[in-house]
């Protein structure tokens, strides 16, 4: 664990393919009102693409950032159904989620494609939120090797000043989805420590590393207390705005690496 660069904690959520443009404003309103004045952490939400204009309209001027769940590697062109970084930036987005395991699985996304998406986000001043994680439960050293390869594939060749602008979410694939359970705290600690070492060796001491995977109010405080966990990336539990508020306003443990 490094003390050379302070990091501001983050708590955010991706809705995946849930909620509607007509119902999302109620979620935004509830969360924005309940988190007004929260300044000791960054909060963000990643709704589906059709809801982003509503996110901009409802969340502008609040403490909550919004962003996209994916981004194309090219800025424009004949890519039917895709969304570009300049489109996200035009909607006020400041984050682009990249490399989620469901994108890797369902759309065959490779490390090379993910690297291109990272660079597209950086070109348009979006924070790339890279998702990494192993598919099957096992030893943390095995998970760390897999995650290390994913980090190298996505971030290889980035300069230190570019790397400083990214966010990493460790999401073990086996801990995602209905009926799954979050990884045990020793496993989380070991993998996060390995990610921290990988980043620090390349000048990424300011990069926040979040944990995602079956985060809910019963385990969030314990996860936040794990060394090298800089915040939480919440899934289905946060579709209830009151649950997200509870997670977003949890008391933060004291860490010497946190701003």
Catalogue the active-site residues: 100, 171
Q: Is 97 helix (H, G, I), strand (E, B) or coil?
A: strand
- Can you tell me which residue has the tokens 């919004």? 66
Distance CA 113, CA 73 (A): 7
> What one-character-per-residue DSSP string does 47-67 give?
--GGGHHHHHHHHTTSSEEEE
71, 98 contact by CB (below 8 A): yes
Specify which residues 128 forms β-bridges with. Answer: 96
* CB proximity list for 229: less than 8 A, separation 6 or greater: 188, 189, 192, 209, 210, 211, 223
Distance CA 257, CA 259 (A): 7
List, in sequence order, the alpha helices (H) in 83-205. Answer: 85-90, 101-107, 111-123, 140-155, 160-163, 185-201
């Amino acid at each position: 664990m490094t003390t050379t660069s302070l990091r501001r904690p983050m708590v955010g959520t991706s809705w995946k393919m849930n909620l509607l443009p007509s119902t999302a404003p109620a979620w935004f309103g509830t969360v924005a009102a309940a988190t007004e004045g929260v300044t000791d952490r960054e909060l963000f939400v990643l709704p589906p693409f059709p809801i982003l204009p509503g996110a901009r309209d409802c969340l502008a001027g609040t403490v909550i950032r919004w962003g996209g769940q994916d981004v194309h590697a090219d800025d424009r062109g004949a890519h039917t159904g895709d969304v570009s970084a300049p489109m996200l930036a035009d909607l006020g987005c400041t984050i682009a989620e990249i490399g989620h395991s469901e994108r890797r699985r369902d759309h065959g996304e490779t490390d090379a494609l993910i690297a291109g998406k990272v660079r597209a986000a950086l070109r348009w001043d979006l924070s790339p939120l890279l998702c990494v994680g192993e598919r099957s439960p096992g030893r943390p050293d095995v998970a760390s090797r897999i995650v290390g390869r994913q980090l190298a594939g996505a971030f290889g060749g980035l300069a230190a000043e570019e790397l400083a602008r990214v966010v990493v979410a460790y999401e073990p694939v086996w801990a995602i989805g209905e009926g799954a359970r979050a990884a045990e705290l020793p496993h989380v600690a070991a993998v996060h420590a390995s990610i921290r070492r990988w980043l620090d060796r390349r000048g990424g001491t300011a990069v926040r590393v979040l944990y995602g995977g079956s985060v809910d109010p019963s385990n969030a405080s314990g996860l936040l207390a794990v060394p090298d966990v800089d915040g939480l990336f919440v899934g289905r539990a946060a579709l209830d705005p009151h649950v997200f508020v509870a997670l977003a306003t949890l008391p933060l443990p004291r860490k010497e690496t946190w701003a």
